Amino acid sequence: MAVNKNSNGYTFFFAIAMVVVVGAALAVTSQSLKPRQQENDADKKRMDILGAIKVEATRTNAGDLFSEYVVERVSVDYIGNMVNTATGDINATDKSDPFNIDVKKDYRSFIKRIVKESGKNPEELDSRLAEAGVNYPVFKCVKNDTTLYVCPMVGTGLWGPIWGYVALEEDFKTIYGAKFDHKSETPGLGAEIKESFFTLKFEGKKLNVEEPKTMFSVLKGGAITNEHSVDGITGGTITSKGVDEMLNRTFPVYVKYFLNANDQRAER
């Protein structure tokens, strides 16, 4: 029996068949490219971590330089206890490796909602973040015989996510270097957080570890600063506030870990 290619039924089933074929092709392509995408993401993370300790890297040499400078990968919980530690090669399928903690995903899935719902109630925020069960990665690096600790963090800017990697010196409070980035901040304004003129302001500044709720401040652009603050981006007030919130929500977790580690060493 001849098929009536002008019928509505033929058009309908032809459209369904094309959707299935194209969808299947896209799914296969996506799966085949996934390992490469994951490796590109891993190289970008390596570059950002190295950038915080002021080591310039490219996707070509990021793996070698990471192995050279990063001597230990640590994960800690919200109250500062070490969860796991790893050295050597990174296995992308090993979920226990601190390198594989996806801080951006954790922020989207849990932390951002908790921050929003807790509003300006620090006690509620602290309690709910502790209950969330999120782990935080720390990267111990050695550069020119100096030990540095890179702390990743994620927050929200004006238009979308922002993130950073801040390296602390051996006293656990002096900032050695910082690297920030964003997804969709305004060019010439909030997007400037990734530029060196902003990140260089952090070098040599100190965390105020005596004030766990405000360890470091990013002030309104042009403000007078002290050793515990930097001035933000002029015209990028909301993005600057996002960096401030990100730092003060995340630094206390790392500082608690450093203090715990110091106490444990002192007991030995």
Specify the 3-state DSSP secondary structure of 84. Answer: strand
pLDDT score of 99? 97
Specify the 3-state DSSP secondary structure of 71. Answer: strand
**The three-state (H, E, C) secondary structure of 213-227, written as one string:** CCCCEEECCCCCCCC
Residue/partner pairs of 25-28 with CB below 8 Å, 24 or more apart: none
Instruction: Please give the mean pLDDT across all residues of the chain.
Output: 90
- pLDDT (mean) for 155-167: 96
Please name the residues in contact with 216: beta carbons below 8 A apart, sequence gap of 6 or more: 205, 207, 208, 228, 229, 244, 247, 248, 251
Q: Where are the beta strands (DSSP E) in the chain?
A: 70-76, 82-86, 136-143, 146-156, 161-168, 175-182, 217-219, 229-231
Place of tokens 């908790």: 114
Select the more confidently predicted residue: 81 or 17. Answer: 81
Condensed to tens digits (0 to 9), the pLDDT of residues 5-37 reads: 666 666 777 678 787 777 766 666 656 645 666
- pLDDT (mean) for 158-187: 96
Lowest mean per-residue pLDDT among 19-23, 32-36, 64-68, 86-90 = 32-36
**pLDDT score of 106 more than 90:** yes
φ, ψ of residue 108 to 5 degrees: the values are -65, -40
**pLDDT score of 239 more than 90:** yes
Domain positions in the chain are: 71-267
Joined tokens for residue 148: 């540095």
